[in-house]
Structure 1
Amino acid sequence: MQRSARDAAKRVWARASSLVRTWRDAVFPDGDAVSRIACVDMLAHNWHLGFTAFGGPTVHYQIFRRLFVERYKWIDETTYLEVFALSQALSGPASTKMLFAFNIMHYDYLTGFLAFLVWALPMACVSFGLALGVRNIGSQLPAPMYALLSGLNSATVGIIALAAIQLSSKAVTDKLTRILVFFGGAAGMLYNALWYFPVLMAAGALTTVLWDLKVLQRLIKALRPIKIRDEQDVGDVELSNLEQAASPEPPASSVTARHTAKVTPQATQTLNTNPSNTLPSAESPTTATNPRTSWVRGTAVIATFLLSFIIVMALRGIYSDRNRGFDLFANLYLAGTIIFGGGPVVVPLLRSYIVSPGWVSPRDFLLGLAITQAFPGPNFNFAVYLGALAVRDTSIPPIAGAIIGFLAIYIPGLWLCAGFIGVWSSLRKVVWVRAALRGVHATAVGLVFTAVYRLFEIGYLDKDVQGGGTLSRDPWWVVIIAAACYGGMHFHLAPLVAIVMGAAMGLLRYAVVSS
């Protein structure tokens, strides 16, 4: 009786497991095509990412690797790493550009753009709904709400600090990149201007190019006085003669000399053909990209973007402060063009472009920042929230402001990514390009530490500090930062859980202090 019951239970469990596997395979397919229509196949493979990819860019990179490299097998590991480096080197949202690039390489440009919409639109709509709610909030919030927001911001600082640590562990490959990470973080803290971050990135790229190509070493060697080199050569000859005179061994016989003459070229040839002395990343081919991503089309795409940027900046200088909608588009278009380092870096830059002109209050900026950090998908959807709020005192409807924010912040990065995907197969073989990417990547990671500092300085809110104050006002906020960072690092605490924990700890502090 008991045996038959166990057998029946096993059959039920096996049947349920089979149904779950069937449902999972239908909802989350493998890399094989499920439809001949590219858009349908893309939707089947990408639909869930905009709802499930919590944790920001650092977690997105890991999700994409498991999905596109290991499960779908659309690309190999080498191609993944190259697209990762390229996404870090170009401006705009890094994880969004990676998803966009993978779909372009597997399908085409149009399907890649549709994949971007599937990825970004779900939480963009939620961000717009959040903005509509914030527009109806009064100038003063209840005291517990300020404590909750300060807790949220503290947890956000901890999450971004963890992202900076994790990214730096991958970016640091030698002492030079370690120095560049420090340089990017320190220089970013000391000064802030519209042109400053791109200059830092260019300085990092120039440094690695000069170092990897041994330009400085060759220059120093060429500038050495000839006299010193001659004296050194004479000294070496005299020392060699003394060593030969003091050597007790007899000279080699003619047979030994002939034998040595035969062996030495072989050894030299073996040394020169050692694979460890080559650069396989520049010579060996990777997974072939879509043939429609040609270098001609890529060059044309990059050129048209540069032309559009010049036009927008020229119109921005001519028609500034005449129309809020155009000013919003121009500022965010500029931000999307010069933001390197992804979501964490966008925060202080957007504060300068949106809050400083007086379009959005510092309180509403920090409120939206704290909440949108808990959303899945790209962090750049924060611009949708800001766009809807920036047109509050104008005749422009909120939905129009949200659309302007969405398009302006995403277009530059995606446009450049689409162009460089076409020319990358040629550029990847150029040594100085790979060297420049190494420097850009390291400096961009340093800028994430800058974002940690700047958010720390504006994360505290109360009724008397509406514009944001430093979180060092009370050790409790530092404890929340440490808990979020340490929990994520050693206990795999999910970012969403860390955000909720920060809010709860903020309310706990208010309850203790008020009592």
Structure 2
Amino acid sequence: MTAVAGTPDTTSSDGPWKVFLVFLRLGLTSFGGPIAHLGFFRTEFVARRRWLSEEHYADIVALSQFLPGPASSKVGIMVGVLRAGIAGALAAWLGFTLPSALALIAFGYGVAAIGDLAGASWLHGLKIVAVAVVAQAVWGMAKNLCPDRERLAIAAAATVFALMVPTTLGQVGAIAIGGLIGWFFLPGETIALTPLPVRISRLWSIGSIVLFFALLIGLPIAVSSTGSHALAMFDAFYRSGSLVFGGGHVVLPLLQAATVQPGWLGNDAFLAGYGAAQAVPGPLFTFAAYLGTVMSQPPNGWAGGLLCLAGIFLPSFFLAIGPLPFWTWIRQHPVMRSVLKGVNAAVVGLLLAALYDPVWTSAIHAPADFAIAAVALLLLVSWKAPPWLVVILGAAAAFAVSLRF
């Protein structure tokens, strides 16, 4: 069926192959993080292809922000569902994720071949750039998600709580407390919305939600009963993808706690991959593919990379598909809007805590380090330089400083 010119084409559908090709091009060209990705998506699916109306696209984006996991990937999965069903969801995710995942697996093999990274000046440069990237994320999220004193207070409390309890429990607890405070103390207004045109059955939705919780509860039990390291890896990344609100950089403290604290890899290797992830297009969650590749014990290499990649993104499938038919009601409910305000403010606090530890404490050791980080932040914020360019310049600057001193 052909859409009328100037109106969104929400009545026809596309095959999974076409959806894959459209998202593959986006996966190769979408630099700049989740906010930039959402801008690319709007241009492609609302303005250019007219697959969605502005209102429906805003609905999808709101749902992706409401749920844990990577925002841009969840939006892509939902668009895939609306265009080509469940197969379209898989095609959209593969197309958008494959380029950066392959690049980071290759980078992981390079890091493994180099061996000891403790004295690598280029690595130190990547860690310094990570300070600027996370600082930019904290500032941007604070402006949008903490516009008043109450939410700034929630963010500050979440920062303190996360630093005092530096474990996954502390991070999840901060989010839960933020949601409770929002429920009781932040007003939630009622709004009217046009229903989202969802074309999947509620059986798929309910099944997705059941599987999400079954794995979230069952995987730790399976790990403790079997002692399988592969299952422990999958569980750690599945849990990170399930519990991190805000996506993108906010997953950093969860993944650091899940991989560095148990001794699966060193903090230097962790931050090297995080810096490299800024230089590739597509979702930042493909950082998981790098982490699986450089693990100190098998499964590692490409098999470990794919295992961790599947673990961290699987919750996004369940959480993108599950709530779709119910989202219009959820978003209109004032209580849920209050909870979401508190959760979002707590996410800002978690990211601020991550900016201090491990990002700042691992990277800034001398005045020259601070200077490089300040220039990198200036390039990102004021000059709107692409992150991949800032990553290259930061590594080069750190290398130059090492030669000079």
TM score, norm. by length of structure 1: 0.71
Matched, 1:423 2:326: yes
Q: Which amino acid letter does the alignment assign opposite residue 394 of structure 2?
A: G
Question: Residue 372 of structure 1 aligns with which residue?
Answer: 277
Q: Shift in Å at residue 455 of structure 1?
A: 3.7
Closer/same/farther in 2, CA of residues 458 and 178 from structure 1, 3 Å limit = closer
Question: Residue 303 of structure 1 aligns with which residue?
Answer: 210
Question: SS at the partner of 1:54?
Answer: coil
Question: Residue 3 of structure 2 aligns with which residue?
Answer: none
Q: 1:289 aligns with which of 179, 193, 197?
A: 197
Question: Residue 506 of structure 1 aligns with which residue?
Answer: 398
1:190-229 to 2 correspondence within 5 Å? 190-212=164-186
Question: SS at the partner of 2:251?
Answer: helix
Residues 209 and 436 in structure 1, CA contact (< 8 A), matched pair in contact too: yes
Q: Which amino acid letter does the alignment assign opposite residue 305 of structure 1?
A: F
Matched, 1:96 2:1: no
Question: Residue 35 of structure 2 aligns with which residue?
Answer: 58
Matched, 1:445 2:348: yes
Q: Shift in Å at residue 293 of structure 1?
A: 5.1
CA distance in 1, matches of 2:117, 2:106: 21
Q: Which amino acid letter does the alignment assign opposite residue 477 of structure 1?
A: D
Q: 1:434 aligns with which of 337, 356, 364?
A: 337
Closer/same/farther in 2, CA of residues 188 and 68 from structure 1, 3 Å limit = farther
* Per-residue Cα deviation, 1:272-311 (whole angstroms, up to 9, x for no partner): xxxxxx84x3x2325x3223254x5423321222122222
* Per-residue Cα deviation, 1:58-115 (whole angstroms, up to 9, x for no partner): 3223322333333333334444444333323322222211221232234322201210
CA distance in 1, matches of 2:327, 2:344: 16
Larger Rg: 1
CA distance in 2, matches of 1:309, 1:173: 33
Q: Shift in Å at residue 131 of structure 1?
A: 1.9
Q: Which amino acid letter does the alignment assign opposite residue 49 of structure 1?
A: L
* Per-residue Cα deviation, 1:315-354 (whole angstroms, up to 9, x for no partner): 122223xx32122112222222222221212222222211
Matched, 1:327 2:232: yes
Q: Shift in Å at residue 134 of structure 1?
A: 2.1
Question: Residue 372 of structure 2 aligns with which residue?
Answer: 480
Q: Which amino acid letter does the alignment assign opposite residue 273 of structure 2?
A: G
Q: Shift in Å at residue 161 of structure 1?
A: 1.1
Residues 105 and 293 in structure 1, CA contact (< 8 A), matched pair in contact too: no
CA distance in 1, matches of 2:371, 2:78: 39
1:173-192 to 2 correspondence within 5 Å? 173-192=147-166
Q: Shift in Å at residue 404 of structure 1?
A: 1.0
Q: Which stretch shifts more, 90-99 or 109-118?
A: 90-99
Q: Shift in Å at residue 173 of structure 1?
A: 4.0
Q: Which amino acid letter does the alignment assign opposite residue 170 of structure 2?
A: Y
* Per-residue Cα deviation, 1:363-384 (whole angstroms, up to 9, x for no partner): 3222222222211111111111
Question: SS at the partner of 1:341?
Answer: coil
Q: Name structure 2 gaps, 5 residues minimum.
A: 1-6
Q: Name structure 1 gaps, 5 residues minimum.
A: 1-29, 215-277, 461-470
Matched, 1:387 2:292: yes
Aligned residues: 398
CA distance in 1, matches of 2:219, 2:106: 29
Question: SS at the partner of 1:60?
Answer: helix
CA distance in 2, matches of 1:305, 1:393: 28
Question: SS at the partner of 1:47?
Answer: helix
* Per-residue Cα deviation, 1:388-427 (whole angstroms, up to 9, x for no partner): 222x544x46232122111111112321221112321332
Q: Which amino acid letter does the alignment assign opposite residue 184 of structure 1?
A: A
Matched, 1:491 2:383: yes
Residues 107 and 290 in structure 1, CA contact (< 8 A), matched pair in contact too: no
Q: Shift in Å at residue 499 of structure 1?
A: 1.0
CA distance in 1, matches of 2:21, 2:258: 38
> Runs ≥4 in structure 1, deviation > 4 angstroms?
30-33
* Per-residue Cα deviation, 1:433-463 (whole angstroms, up to 9, x for no partner): 1222222222223322222222434433xxx
TM score, norm. by length of structure 2: 0.89
Q: Shift in Å at residue 430 of structure 1?
A: 2.0
Question: Residue 132 of structure 1 aligns with which residue?
Answer: 109
Closer/same/farther in 2, CA of residues 76 and 36 from structure 1, 3 Å limit = closer
RMSD: 2.6
Q: Shift in Å at residue 175 of structure 1?
A: 3.3
